[in-house]
Amino acid sequence: MRVTLFVTCLTDTVAPEAGIAVVRILERLGHEVEFPPAQTCCGQMHLNAGYRREGRALARRFVRVFADAELVVAPSASCVGTVRELYPTLADGDEAMAREIDTLVPRVFELSELLAGRFGLEDVGATFPHRVTYHPTCHSLRVLRSGDAPYRLLRAVRDLELVELPEATECCGFGGTFAVKNADTSAAILADKVRCVLDTGADVCTASDSSCLLQIGGALSRLRTGVRTAHLAEILAAEGR
């Protein structure tokens, strides 16, 4: 199939390895990957921070850029959540825009939804010999309701030891501008998440969103824990080591 990648602005800019991994997985599975270079940002940050007008303009742009795509995949539960949950509230009586959103939304998938749900896969041919714990992000859990899709994909990875994260459903404290506007509270929430990650004894903490990993990884690195983060896509793309 032809799959169009929405890499997301954050992954493109600070975590390109996750985007590259999505391309490797899909090509290994025999799909054709397309990347429209006109894409930028879905508008999540602006919309969540209350900059609706700016966010709406970015949503319009997104809809235009991906209008011809058969399937859109993004390595981010929160960006897909934005498209699915917030875009339909943005038309403001513009019927053409409402229609474009309605036809696009069902074709946009988060990576684990695409692989485990749409494609019905569990084993995507990965090998990753590490002890891994998975943080289900708030958007994958409560907006996309991805359920056990990421766990099923991870369990099928060769040589991977999956360890359960205590208090897994708790937020990591990122929350976009929240991390800066309420930095103290964000850091307090993060501290508990990091404690839970360390309690698992995992070498790698994974999730389906670069933003949460930026937060969790930032603390794991600051505290010199020796535990690293890797996007779910990187693990599913790995072929050993």
The residues that touch another protein, with contacts defined as CB under 8 A, are 7, 9, 11-16, 19-20, 35, 37-41, 43, 45-52, 54, 57-58, 61, 86, 89, 138-139, 141-143, 169-171, 173-190, 214-215, 217-219, 221-222
SS (H, E, C) 73-98: EECEHHHHHHHHHHHHHCCCCCHHHH
Output 155 or 166, the one with its CB closest to another protein.
166
Q: Is the dihedral of CA 183, 188, 189, 192 positive or negative?
A: positive
Q: Give the tokens for residue 216.
A: 């969790």
Output 115 or 213, the one with its CB closest to another protein.
213
Task: Provide the strand spans (E) within the chain.
Answer: 2-5, 32-34, 71-74, 108-110, 131-134, 161-163, 204-207, 228-231
Question: Between β-strands 2-5 and 71-74, what pairing exists: parallel, antiparallel or unpaired?
Answer: parallel
SS3 state at 13: helix
> To 10 degrees, the CA torsion angle through 121, 25, 175, 169?
30
Distance CA 230, CA 137 (A): 14
CB of 84 to another protein, least distance (A): 13
CB of 184 to another protein, least distance (A): 4
CB of 60 to another protein, least distance (A): 10
Output 39 or 208, the one with its CB closest to another protein.
39
Output 50 or 106, the one with its CB closest to another protein.
50
Output 133 or 210, the one with its CB closest to another protein.
210
Output 40 or 103, the one with its CB closest to another protein.
40
| Contact indicator for 21, 208 with CB cutoff of 8 Å | no
CB of 230 to another protein, least distance (A): 13
CB of 220 to another protein, least distance (A): 9
CB of 178 to another protein, least distance (A): 5
Q: Give the tokens for residue 88.
A: 């339909």
